[in-house]
Amino acid sequence: MIGTPADSTDPPDRREWKLDALSDVLSVLRLTGGVFLDAEFSEPWSVYSRVSPGDIGTQATVPDHMVAYHYVVSGSMLVELPGQAPVPVEAGSVVLLPRNDPHVLTSAAGLMPVDPEHLVEPDAEGGLARLRYGGGGPATHIVCGFAGVEARDHPLLASLPRTLVLNLDGKPAHAWIATSFRYAAGQISAVSAGSSIALTKLSELMFVEAVRHYLDELPEERRGWLAGLRDPVIGRALALVHAQLGRAWTAESLADAVHLSRSAFAERFSLLIGMPPMAYLAQWRMQVAAQRLRDSRQGIAQVALEVGYASEAAFARAFKRALGCTPAVWRRSPRAAAAG
């Protein structure tokens, strides 16, 4: 459940918002997933790591953004990122890197990492690649994968920490994920292409569970986009905006949709998100428009319509205010290429 449990004074539909807001937002991301590497290390060991387009195998398209993860089947490891204390990950846990930052996996702090690319052994049958490396000491077995997200600049990704560690013990959904991975990892010696495919949905589910867990653990006084998502009213408003970006929203219509007065809604939204609802909507529309202009061949008028502008001229004026140039200039500019 997202956030704190609904109390008995909440109307039934508000209790549902607490459950559904995250699901609604995640549905807009069009999650995909994949598993690409079975790795066994023996102490001492240390390797560089980051998911690259080459790791996703036969995916039809490369996602806009990839969330890296490593599930520890047995043993333990540290995850090191620049400027951050090493993150311990024990057997039965998964560590996710929402921004796919370059990182180091290691058996102990301070070891010199190696680039493992030349050590990876592709599977001739199309199954998981294998990696065996280390000094011969106690072993750690991990499975590496990714969750693909079709939204490069989504505020959910920007709001999550650089690492998320999810212990898969204790809760029913977590136990199901852990059991599935342990079974799959045990079958890797005889893996077929179908065995790898059977794990892809686990990648998506793990990302969802990790985000839900993180939301559950947020302090009550926390402010920001995730705190807004956790709130039953503002979370519902965010879900509506992200799912129906092209709708002609007003502060009044959003407030009506979540059953608050306009003033109460605007105050609650601004307190949690840090800006008024219409400012947030305008900002998000420009982020989506810039991405579509960069990544697609859609006409400017079509992009304008999809992000909620009936007039191409009005869209162009808003775009120039936000990004400093017209949509046509943005599409041709090195800045748009660099944003990719």
- Say if residue 188's pLDDT is above 50: yes
- Say if residue 337's pLDDT is above 70: no
Residue range 244-340 in CATH 1.10.10.60: yes
Q: What is the pLDDT of residues 163-175, one digit of tens each?
A: 999 888 766 666 7
Mean pLDDT of 222-239: 85
- Cα 323–chain centre separation: 25
Predicted pLDDT of residue 216: 81
Give whole-number Cα distances, 15 to 1, 20, 21, 27, in Å. Answer: 10, 9, 10, 19
Contacts of 274 (CB under 8 A, 6+ apart): 223, 224
- 185 against 131, higher pLDDT: 131
Decide if 68 contacts 160 (C-beta within 8 A).
no
Q: What is the pLDDT of residues 53-101, one digit of tens each?
A: 777 765 556 777 889 999 998 999 999 999 999 999 999 899 999 999 9
Q: Is the four-CA dihedral 224, 229, 231, 234 of positive or negative sign?
A: positive
Predicted pLDDT of residue 200: 66
Q: Do domains 24-217 and 244-340 have the same CATH topology?
A: no
Predicted pLDDT of residue 35: 79
Decide if 277 contacts 266 (C-beta within 8 A).
yes
- Return d(Cα 299, Cα 315) in angstroms, integer: 12
- Say if residue 106's pLDDT is above 90: yes
- In 3D space, the residue among 285, 14, 241, 302 whose CA is nearest the CA of residue 250 turns out to be 241
- Say if residue 194's pLDDT is above 60: no
pLDDT band at 17; cut points 50, 70, 90: very low
Q: What is the pLDDT of residues 262-289, one digit of tens each?
A: 999 999 999 988 899 999 999 889 988 9
- 97 against 125, higher pLDDT: 97
Instruction: Show me where the domains of the chain are located.
Output: 24-217, 244-340
Mean pLDDT of 162-190: 71
Predicted pLDDT of residue 184: 61
The predicted model scores a pTM of: 0.73
Two tokens at 133? 């490396």
Mean pLDDT of 182-205: 60
- Say if residue 2's pLDDT is above 50: no
Mean pLDDT of 130-155: 88
Topology of domain 24-217 in CATH is Jelly Rolls (2.60.120)
User: Tokens 């839900």 map to which residue?
Assistant: 212
The pLDDT mean for the chain works out to 82
Two tokens at 248? 């002609």
